[in-house]
Amino acid sequence: MLLHLLTFLAGTVAAATAAATGPASRPNIVFLFSDDQTARAIGYENPEVATPHLDRLAREGVRFTNHYNTTAICMASRCNVLTGLYEHRHGCNFSHGDLARRHLEQSYPAILRRAGYHTGFAGKIGFELKGEGFEALAPFFDAWAGGPDQTFYETAKNPGIANYADRHPHSSRAYAAWAADFLRNAKRTGKPFCLSISFKAPHLPFTPDPQDTKPYSGRKFTRPPNHGVEKGRHLSAQSRASRAATGYREWINNYDESAAAYYALITGIDAAVGLIRESLEREGLAANTVIVYTSDNGYSMGAHGFGDKVLPYEEASKSPLIIHDPRRPGERSGKASAALTGNVDVAPTLLALAGVAAPAGLDGRSLVSLLDDPAGRVRDALPLFNYWGATAAQTLAIVAPGWKYIFWAYGGEGMRPTEELFDLSSDPYEMRNVAADPRHALVLADLRARYDAELAAIAGSRVEGHDYEKYPVLFSRTIPWTEKPAAPQPAAGKGKRKGGKADDR
Ligand SMILES: [Ca+2]
């Protein structure tokens, strides 16, 4: 009885404290975003990559091993992350157009700011506001060091962080220095904060910070078992029309040097993550700050003969995802979750962590339940879209636990529409297309049905005026190619954004 009374009193005091402190009791959020980092290019997946701070973050948090970018290219993925919407619903990608103001107003930083959070953004934002340009983005944040287009590795060339160039001439650590000042100011506001940093690394051009190159210079690196053009002969002809197959030959001809520079860039981000965590500790903020780390798309690194991202194959579409919530019991930390997660899950997850309602009808799901139960799942299937680049290589794919189905719809230039089915549990490197194997007929039928449902959903939910009208027909499995209206065919590698600016190579 006494115990019950004490428990009751303790509960009452806790509730009163929460009410008294209000928003200040909500967690702070740090969202860290790399550019073009594939899931296997991190220390806990591949010991050839030195990422001690990210490895520690994963040991103290939950790492997600099946995290996909639902559009695997910078501009679209960044808007997927901000809004929790699939590309055809926000409409932002090279050749499809910029982001409308109404979508940015429904993004996680804008919602959190309205809910009382102090917000900051630094780095490559990757898009502009439709009809208003890049300059219209800054007023959405309390603190802003965002850069237009690709931004620069040289700190001095980025106006938002140029003040830190003397100490950190390379941008990755300079963003950590900017973060340190942001955290100090955020603490003074007395509000909870949401800090988003979008590193340029490890995006091309591969120019790492010289202090990070030493562990890699002159080394030979293990090629994955699917590395090289010969290991892509079984894949669709359509996939080889992508710029991923026609460019980026450095990953085929000069793998070791490419990997050395790419990994060094990731090690530079890792150092910045360590510095940001030090700043959180120094300011006394670490215990109430959730850190989320991920990337906007994967990177092929020569897998199947591809460079680049964009494609629905594992290397190009998957990225690391780590969520570290220091408020959760330690026994749950260090766990891996194999649940199917997507870049559209970031916004609903951050909003759920903050206890703020997400807009209705998001495509993403909150992953908070997986922090308590990493063995759980939040969905049974996830679509992957490519609405950009060579028409032949544009595609819709469906990932389900252990499986991936891709339909290559294009039937021009002597190509035949092609189905691919991969048993990812036994074939994680996608070396055997088992679509024609009768033993998998039930799985194939299920994934085809999910594909058709997803295609129907595009027709019902796409934004107007961003050139997604054609996809329900273009991607159809049942309409013969000869009955589809001929789609324009931009040359591979020549994708131009509306307004004439070059896309990101
Ligand atoms: Ca990218």
Exposed e or buried b for every residue in 410-440, given b needs 16+ CB within 10 A? Answer: bbeeebebbbbbbbbeeeebbeebbbeeeeb
- Measure 342 CA to ligand 1 centroid, in angstroms: 15
Q: Round to whole Å and give the CA distance between 142 and 23.
A: 17
Mean pLDDT confidence for 197-221: 97
The rounded Å distance from CA 12 to ligand 1 centre is 48
Distance 360 CA to ligand 1 centre (A): 28
Cis upstream peptide for 202 (omega within 30°): yes
Distance from the CA of 454 to the center of ligand 1, in angstroms? 25
Q: How confident is the model at residue 330 (pLDDT cuts 50, 70, 90)?
A: confident
Tell me, in angstroms, the distance from the centre of ligand 1 to residue 301's CA: 14
CA–centroid distance, 77 to ligand 1, in Å, is 8
Q: How many CB atoms lie within 10 A of CB 352?
A: 17
What spacing in Å lies between the alpha carbon of 296 and ligand 1's midpoint?
5
- What residues have their beta carbon closer than 5 A to ion ligand 1? 35-36, 74, 296-297
Q: Using the mean position of ligand 1's atoms as its centre, give its distance from the Cα of residue 126 in Å.
A: 9
Instruction: Say what the pLDDT of residue 485 is.
Output: 86
CA of 72 to the centre of ligand 1 (A): 7
- Mean predicted confidence (pLDDT) in 57-74: 98
- For the cut 90, the answer to whether the pLDDT of residue 494 exceeds it is no
Percent of the chain with pLDDT over 90: 90
Ligand 1 centroid to residue 38 C-alpha, Å: 10
Residues 18-30 pLDDT 10s:
333 433 479 999 9
Q: What is the pTM of this model?
A: 0.93
Cα 86 to averaged position of ligand 1 atoms, centre (Å): 16
For residue 41, report the distance from its CA to the centre of ligand 1, in Å.
14
Strands 118-124, 382-386: pairing is unpaired
Question: What are the structural domains of the chain?
Answer: 27-379 (3.40.720.10), 383-483 (3.30.1120)
pLDDT, tens only, 236-279:
999 999 999 999 999 999 999 999 999 999 999 999 999 999 99
Q: Are 273 and 53 in contact (CB under 8 A)?
A: yes
Between the CA of 36 and the centroid of ligand 1 the distance, in Å, is 4
User: Is the pLDDT assigned to residue 496 strictly greater than 80?
Assistant: no
Distances (CA, A) of 41 to 16, 45, 179, 228, 466: 46, 7, 24, 18, 34
Give the model confidence (pLDDT) of 106-130 as tens digits: 999 999 999 999 999 999 999 999 9
> Has residue 161 got a pLDDT over 90?
yes
State percent of the chain over pLDDT 70: 91
Mean pLDDT, to the nearest integer, of 392-415? 97
When pLDDT is cut at 50, 70 and 90, the band that residue 331 belongs to is: confident
Of residues 125, 306, 296, 271, the one with CA closest to residue 203: 296
164 DSSP assignment:
G
Q: What is the per-residue pLDDT for 487?
A: 54
Q: What is the mean predicted confidence (pLDDT) over 445-450?
A: 98
347 Cα–ligand 1 center, Å: 18
CB 67 within 8 A of CB 319: yes
CA of 203 from ligand 1 middle (Å) equals 7
CA 78 – ligand 1 centroid, Å: 8
- pLDDT value, residue 329: 87
Question: What is the model's pLDDT at position 19?
Answer: 39
Instruction: Give the three-class secondary structure for 120.
Output: strand
Closest CA to 33 of 151, 185, 181: 151
Q: Which value, in Å, is the radius of gyration of the alpha carbons in the chain?
A: 23
Calculate how far, in angstroms, residue 317's C-alpha sits from the geometric centre of ligand 1: 10
Q: Is the pLDDT at 3 greater than 50, yes or no?
A: no
Centre of ligand 1 to C-alpha 388, Å, is 14
**CA 441 to centroid of ligand 1, rounded, Å:** 35
